Structure 1
Amino acid sequence: MSLHPVWPLWAVLLVALPLILFPAVMLVTRRDRRIAWLRRLGIALAIGTIAIGPSTMHTTASTVQSNAEIFFVVDRTGSMAAEDYDGTAVRLDGVRHDLEAIVDAFPGARYSIIAWDSQATRQLPLTTDARAVTSWADTVRQELTSFSTGSQVDRPLVALAEALTGAAERTPSNVRLVYFMSDGENTDGEQSSAEAELESFAPLAPLVDGGAVLGYGTTEGGRMKVWDGFTPAEEAPYITDPDNGGAEAVSRIDEVTLRTIAEQLGVDYVHRIAPDAVDGFTSGVDVQEIASDGRREHVIYQPIVWPFASAALLLLVWEAFTIARTFPVRRAHLAPEVR
């Protein structure tokens, strides 16, 4: 317990000491009214105690914000359902793991998600709500197979450029990290071409302070199941390749493309084939120092008021009742009886 006066200590003493000393003196000198002056001394002591502010210490934790802004660029085209991550898991399982692990590595940061399939969309604007990121990761699925128009890794370029430019204009001193998560595959489709020259991410490099390009999949490749929005994965058929006589389609990672994007952005390329630690591409980033769990402890002092206020109130009620009893009682005069 510690003392935190409601006023400066000299002001408290200036007011409280006379209030306490007067009934104390009267208690000694007026022995015929000892109970009354003892009661008044109790009131003065209770009020004086409240004024000097006895308090207990409490430690609270509040979320603090670092100066890191993290942009997740996530491929959710059909090839990200290929079953060649950590054995036979789908590649999106690796994305889920890494999203959550990166968020844990940067507590208190601001996070944004840009996803692309047949088009690129901002799934989550910059927010400090880490739970929003993990909730999105828990529910993300590949695009509907019937809507697939091929896979082009430069499809999110415009959306990412707009997000980074806007962030740089709002908070130029912040650190911006980009985590590009894809298998790098470019496939023919109605609006894409495997032979088309990809647009470069190099113009974005001055806006990027760190991050990584994370590649999912294997050179052997994996099969992908159809996603129609409601059929359980265990019951869904595999996607077939009409250009290969209707055989089951196989998706393979394109590390050459992914390394090129990493070089253009000025970040590292990391091949992710299992749910390993993410320290290699999250540590060493120059962000403001924060607590390890993204929270800062604050010490607050809670005044202890109610016991002394209750005692003062009871004594005041007793005092008021005693004073009321000393008032003369006026008796009503009866009118003379009319005969």
Structure 2
Amino acid sequence: MGVINPWFRKIRIFFAGPDRNFCQDALARQRQCWERACLQLRFFYGALLYLAAGRIAHWSVETARAVADPLWPVLWLRWVKDSCGIGAILILHLVGALCAVGFPQKFWARALAFLGLLEYGAFNNSFGKIGHSEHGWILAGFVLMFLPARTNGSREPEARKNRQVFLHIFWTAQASVLLTYSMAGWSKIGGALLQCVRGEPSLFSFDALSRHIAARLLETGVNSAWGPWLIAHPWVGWPALWGVVYVQAFSFWAAFRPRLRAVWALLLVLFHLASFFAMDIFFAQAILLLSVLYLPEGQDGVFPKRWERLLPVVGDLLWSWQGLRREAPVRVRSR
């Protein structure tokens, strides 16, 4: 650990940027952060129960589906009757979420909730197409499964250590979800660079968003509220597209900047809403996940004071510019 800690500290300082002092001061606010994280944990499993219970109305339709190509977590469906196996997955999903809501401090309850999530997600993607509406939930549910048990009755040093481990694991769950957005953003940039080398239209093209919306609407055969207008006005879509790419690419940075996490979650929610109005792509589950994992951290308002100075790259430049201005010598004009 003596070798790992210095490197981890350097990585944390790099990603935290202007918010590094706020991170270092977390020990003084440990109990407050821990209490809020416990509340967010209940929000997470409460939202999971809402999703699982909302699917009860479709159980008859789900159990009638024939699984042609089951993914590895539900490979066992090949050896049981489809209706029985799918029914068992749906019940496990509901019971696991219910147990986690009632006993979020118990490992077995969180493990049952994760198993139900994994099985339902694998079943839902075993029909020839992989969607990622459940991936964030599965990833966060897996990490949260390893939260330590509460030790309220123990001595304060032990309780403090327990709270710190709890906060580290909870933060890892938050960071893992934001990492998926960064992976999506940087993959868009990498793909665009490859298209530029090939001489193809890319993300850097002025009409990139218009082309993407038109291709999506033609592929699905649907219409959207903003799609036709954005196709006709590419000068609006180009900066909006790069704004989305910036938010996605630097989402992982926001995980290291506590005062920025709620801001970033709201920006990602707006991105999902805009995707629906522009291309009829709706990720209600992702919006719910962002809302329960990050938005409660903005208790005094989602946007803290001078939040723009916490923005990745942009905020670092603003802080550097402010520092240079303070260090610059004051010139006195001679009369």
Fold conserved between structures, TM > 0.5: no
Instruction: Please say which structure displays the higher CA radius of gyration.
Output: 1
More strand by share: 1
What TM-score, normalized to structure 1?
A: 0.25
More helix by share: 2
What TM-score, normalized to structure 2?
A: 0.25
